[in-house]
Copies of this chain bind each other. A is one copy, B any other.
Amino acid sequence: MNLDYKNLDTLESYRRLTKLPRPAHLRTLVTVDRIASSSVPAGGGMTYNYGAKLFSPEILGALQDLADEAGLIAKYRRILDGGIMNTGEKRMVLHHLVRGRPGKETTHGGRDLRAFYRGEQDKIAVFADRVHRGEIRGSTGKPFDTVVQIGIGGSDLGPRALHIALSNLRAGDGPFRKMKARFVSNVDPDDAAEVLARVNPETSLFIVVSKSGTTQETLTNQAFVLRRLEEAGIPGLDPKKHLVAVTSETSPMAKSPDYLASFFIDDFIGGRYSATSAVGGAVLSLAFGPGVFEEVLAGAAEADRLALEGDIRRNAALMDALLGVYERNVLGFPATAVLPYSQALSRFPAHLQQLDMESNGKGVNRFGEALSYPTGPVIFGEPGTNGQHSFYQLLHQGTDIVPLQFIGFRESQRGEDLSFDGSTSQKKLNANLAAQILAFAKGKDDVDPNKSFGGNRPSSLLWGEKLTPRALGATLAHFENKVMFQGLAWNINSFDQEGVQLGKVLASEVLSGAPADRELAAYARLLGVL
């Protein structure tokens, strides 16, 4: 068990990795045998295939050594067992615990935290069932048919992406959906106003989500909603009877008697890792029923267990992480694209953007020492085939190589399809996905250089039969664990976000009316704030 924390570039295995011959061209490397032997189960029925990635057997060997030398699995276990792995803020990192208990019992203040998180989800389930049965109703006596999540960052992006991903699904007897869901995040008043113009206050339940209970945007939007509901002039409407809180027990929100119900998380659940906690649990259980959310949790828990495997060839998240480190630090690629061939995952890249860039966009190691190697890449993406008609030109022929994370499913979610021009839409979708992997890997020569494709652009494929709630949970956890392993390899703290503080402080100065900095005042005047 190696729990030394060393910078990547001090590891013997890493130094060796940098000296290994670069892999041959993917045109040569990608063979039927390689594709077949490069599959790793990722949980929830998902499989991670790295057959079109840039590596040689020697490189994989060095990456295995790197995983061992850096003690990545031991450090993951340390997270699961309640180690203080958010070093800057001196906190445990317990998002895995909201969906299972893959490590030891973890307590805080004498309380078993697995039981705490599980208990909150049980409370949510009871509450959601009562809302669905019409036992809990709006203040004018009407059943709730809409839930509005008010939150920003991790309280918005993950839950929103998961909500879209589940919206098409149907059970045997009809849609999963039990309530419509809307989201308000931005402090831009047009955001809340637009959503409020489209919902019926009498039948809407608003979930206010802020761990600290002090998030400026969220408190402002809560006030916005309360004011608008009061001004609606609906006889008998009591806005506070339409508000639910998701917050920590120690926050100002938790002390308020103003909420119809309150569900709790704590400081050990980071915002960007909170989609499987009450932050996502409340809105998704209300929108689709608690049983659907349990499936998401089960898929995530399975991925978490699989991520304990020490052999990188049998650990999807670890392999994904290490190939990414090789691409970033040895091959020097500055960005990564996430390309789900599923419209249901249309906002999943936006969630991963936060998850990855906020976790690993760090310039110092876990001890606060400046790093001399690159850490987290820029993450971006849109669903295919849409992206093919947008930015794939640069991915194929641009001057920088961008590694690609494809995601795909054999079946559509709704199962409504037609055959046109000899094939179904779903087959067209996946024919394009297969074609892109090959086109990026192998390229194609042409006498016209403008029509030549250099290829050698690496990609991986995370795929499953169908985007079920369980597959979705596993996919979410796969990326959480990938990001965690990369952060550990880079020897950084992936669980704080000090880089967001300065802007908050300066914005407060502006709003106080007297910013100390003259140039800040100049920009504020330009924008009509001062």
- Measuring CB to CB, which residues of chain A are less than 8 angstroms from any residue of chain B? 30-32, 35-36, 49, 88, 152-154, 156-157, 167-168, 185-194, 216-217, 219-221, 223-224, 227, 271, 334-335, 341-344, 350, 353-354, 357-358, 360-364, 368-371, 373-380, 382-386, 388-400, 402, 408, 410-414, 416-418, 420-439, 441-444, 448-451, 453-454, 461, 463, 493, 496-511, 517-520, 522-524, 526-529
A442 touches B517 (CB 8 A): yes
Determine the chain B residues whose CB is within 8 A of the CB of A187 once the complex forms: 385, 425, 428-429, 432
Within the assembled complex, what's the spacing in Å between the Cα atoms of A31 and B427? Answer: 58
B364 touches A450 (CB 8 A): yes
Closest-by-CB residue of B relative to A335 is: B378
Sorted nearest first, the 7 A-B pairs with minimum C-beta distance are A361-B394, A153-B389, A435-B506, A410-B528, A361-B398, A396-B499, A380-B380
B399 touches A374 (CB 8 A): yes
Determine the chain B residues whose CB is within 8 A of the CB of A375 once the complex forms: 398-399
Closest-by-CB residue of B relative to A413 is: B190
B189 touches A529 (CB 8 A): no
Within the assembled complex, what's the spacing in Å between the Cα atoms of A199 and B370? Answer: 55
Within the assembled complex, what's the spacing in Å between the Cα atoms of A370 and B442? Answer: 19
Within the assembled complex, what's the spacing in Å between the Cα atoms of A281 and B470? Answer: 43
A449 touches B220 (CB 8 A): no
Within the assembled complex, what's the spacing in Å between the Cα atoms of A412 and B187? Answer: 11
B519 touches A438 (CB 8 A): yes
Within the assembled complex, what's the spacing in Å between the Cα atoms of A294 and B341? Answer: 36
Determine the chain B residues whose CB is within 8 A of the CB of A412 once the complex forms: 188-190, 193
Determine the chain B residues whose CB is within 8 A of the CB of A436 once the complex forms: 503, 506
Of A187, A410, A522, most buried by chain B (CB within 10 Å of CB) is A187
Within the assembled complex, what's the spacing in Å between the Cα atoms of A221 and B425? Answer: 8
Q: Pick the residue among B227, B388, B400, B529 that contacts A503 (CB under 8 A).
A: B388
Closest-by-CB residue of B relative to A169 is: B190
A420 touches B224 (CB 8 A): yes
Determine the chain B residues whose CB is within 8 A of the CB of A189 once the complex forms: 412, 414, 416-418, 424-426, 429
B451 touches A498 (CB 8 A): yes
Determine the chain B residues whose CB is within 8 A of the CB of A271 once the complex forms: 389
Would A500 and B426 be within 8 Å (CB), given that A412-B189, A431-B511 are in contact? no
A529 touches B391 (CB 8 A): no
Determine the chain B residues whose CB is within 8 A of the CB of A350 once the complex forms: 382, 390
A389 touches B152 (CB 8 A): yes
A515 CB → nearest B CB, Å: 8
Closest-by-CB residue of B relative to A525 is: B434
Q: Pick the residue among B35, B190, B334, B376 that contacts A522 (CB under 8 A).
A: B35
B220 touches A511 (CB 8 A): no
This chain: copies in complex: 2
Would A391 and B523 be within 8 Å (CB), given that A425-B189, A449-B370, A529-B427 are in contact? no
B370 touches A434 (CB 8 A): no
Would A528 and B334 be within 8 Å (CB), given that A223-B420, A386-B152 are in contact? no
Q: Pick the residue among B380, B434, B448 that contacts A520 (CB under 8 A).
A: B434
A234 CB → nearest B CB, Å: 18
Would A186 and B378 be within 8 Å (CB), given that A430-B529, A437-B523 are in contact? no
Within the assembled complex, what's the spacing in Å between the Cα atoms of A421 and B187? Answer: 13
A151 CB → nearest B CB, Å: 9
Within the assembled complex, what's the spacing in Å between the Cα atoms of A511 and B422? Answer: 8
Q: Pick the residue among B373, B417, B461, B524 that contacts A523 (CB under 8 A).
A: B461
Within the assembled complex, what's the spacing in Å between the Cα atoms of A450 and B450? Answer: 46
**19 A-B pairs with C-beta separation under 8 A:** A36-B522, A153-B388, A167-B194, A188-B341, A188-B344, A189-B424, A193-B412, A357-B398, A361-B391, A361-B394, A361-B398, A378-B402, A427-B511, A435-B503, A435-B506, A435-B509, A438-B517, A438-B520, A450-B496
B193 touches A414 (CB 8 A): yes
A188 touches B499 (CB 8 A): no
Closest-by-CB residue of B relative to A218 is: B389
Determine the chain B residues whose CB is within 8 A of the CB of A526 once the complex forms: 35, 49, 434, 461, 463
Within the assembled complex, what's the spacing in Å between the Cα atoms of A443 and B501? Answer: 11
Within the assembled complex, what's the spacing in Å between the Cα atoms of A168 and B334? Answer: 37
Determine the chain B residues whose CB is within 8 A of the CB of A371 once the complex forms: 399
A120 CB → nearest B CB, Å: 23
Determine the chain B residues whose CB is within 8 A of the CB of A439 once the complex forms: 502-503, 506
Determine the chain B residues whose CB is within 8 A of the CB of A194 once the complex forms: 167-168, 343, 414
Determine the chain B residues whose CB is within 8 A of the CB of A435 once the complex forms: 503-507, 509-510, 520
Of A192, A364, A413, A418, most buried by chain B (CB within 10 Å of CB) is A418
Within the assembled complex, what's the spacing in Å between the Cα atoms of A371 and B398? Answer: 10
Would A357 and B393 be within 8 Å (CB), given that A167-B194, A224-B418, A435-B507 are in contact? yes
Within the assembled complex, what's the spacing in Å between the Cα atoms of A334 and B96? Answer: 34
Q: Pick the residue among B167, B221, B380 that contacts A378 (CB under 8 A).
A: B380
B32 touches A519 (CB 8 A): yes
